[in-house]
Amino acid sequence: MPDRLGDRVWPYDSASRRRARSLWRVATAAARSRSMEPMILPAYWWNGHPNFGDALTPWILARYGVVAVHTPPDRARASGVGSIVEQLQSDFSGTIWGSGLLHGDPLELPQARVLAVRGPLTKAALGIEEDVALGDPGLLVGRWASRGRARWRIGIVPHGVHREDPSLQDLVARRVRGATVVDVRRGPGAVIRHISHCSAVLTTSLHGLVVADALGIPAAWTQRHPPLWGGDFKFRDYEAVVTPGRSREIRTDGVLSSTDLLAAMALPDTEAREESIARVEETIRDLPVSRESVWRVQAMRRGHR
């Protein structure tokens, strides 16, 4: 968290903090594979500030024995979780794995190999005609974590830009009994555990919704000020996969009790969710991984060749 001493001395995006995170990922995946030559994937995901959703790529892949090494998009072999497709160059020849567009404007990446995209809206905007897996890889959280004992009636998961939103603060302080605020600046493991102990979830963060769906927790999403970059595109793209034909968006600017909010929460379609999970998970075996020593991984991380 930003108020920790470490964040004042070594900012989140500093070289020291980046190296420490990379070393931890390598050690974790190497331990899982019981090998000092784990499967390596130079991948791109947004890594500019603390946000658990952006960090889901390495968290998930480590559980399949793959070390995702954060790599600039012009050198990455794959793009991972997040609304990052617009950040790829037009000559990107790597693999797109579950990524999505931010705005939804048409975009051509003719050399890219597409295994999965977040949803059908991204697929259409990219002009993809072949059958590819649809869904956010964050749904794979449900393969490695489960719903815990309920400690809170509602978990409120504000996007980073909405952390100080007065209406959300009011929901927690006065209008909703048994509410807790989930801090998305924490790591994936901590956020997933926090969400797992909520009976329902209200979120302005897409991955708050995705993780709730992965764990089988009823959820809804809402929009607050300032609006997110890209508006509601990423929510519509994702929900077109897991709740086709219906949206779980709700308005929270009126007077809502906890009973009202709980009544508005909903689960994704079971069959649609399970199909998405199975198809996205199946694509992991086709990721462009290679066997490398731990030391080689660190050289790659520093940009040496």
Helix 206-215 and helix 188-196: axis angle, to 10°? 60
Looking at the structure, tell me whether residues 126 and 151 fall in a common domain: no
Dmax (CA) for the chain in angstroms is 58
Whether 208 has a pLDDT exceeding 80, the answer reads yes
Are residues 176 and 224 part of one domain? yes
How many separate domains does the chain show? 2
- Average pLDDT over the chain reads 86
- Give the 3-state secondary structure percentages of the chain, helix then strand then coil, rounded to 5: 40, 15, 45
Query: How many whole angstroms separate alpha carbon 184 and alpha carbon 192?
Result: 10
Number of alpha carbons in the 13 Å side-chain half-sphere of residue 19? 9
User: Which pLDDT does position 28 carry in this prediction?
Assistant: 58
Same structural domain, 109 and 235: no
Q: What CATH number is associated with residue 217?
A: 3.40.50
Please report the pLDDT score of residue 255 as a whole number.
56
Q: Same structural domain for residues 146 and 253?
A: yes
- Token digits for 210? 């995705």
What is the pTM assigned to this prediction? Answer: 0.84
66-121 pLDDT, tens per residue? 999 999 999 999 999 999 999 999 999 999 999 999 999 999 999 999 999 999 99
List, for residues 258-302, the tens digit of each pLDDT value: 777 888 899 999 999 999 999 999 999 999 999 876 566 666 656
Q: Are 151 and 132 members of one domain?
A: no
Do 166 and 117 sit in the same domain of this protein?
no
State whether 119 and 180 are in the same domain.
no
Residue 10 has pLDDT above 80, yes or no: no
Q: Domain range for residue 88?
A: 5-137+280-301
Q: What span, in angstroms and rounded, lies between the C-alpha atoms of 41 and 47?
A: 16
Structure tokens at 259: 């009973």
Q: How far apart are CA 31 and CA 65, in angstroms?
A: 9
User: In terms of domains, do 109 and 169 share one?
Assistant: no
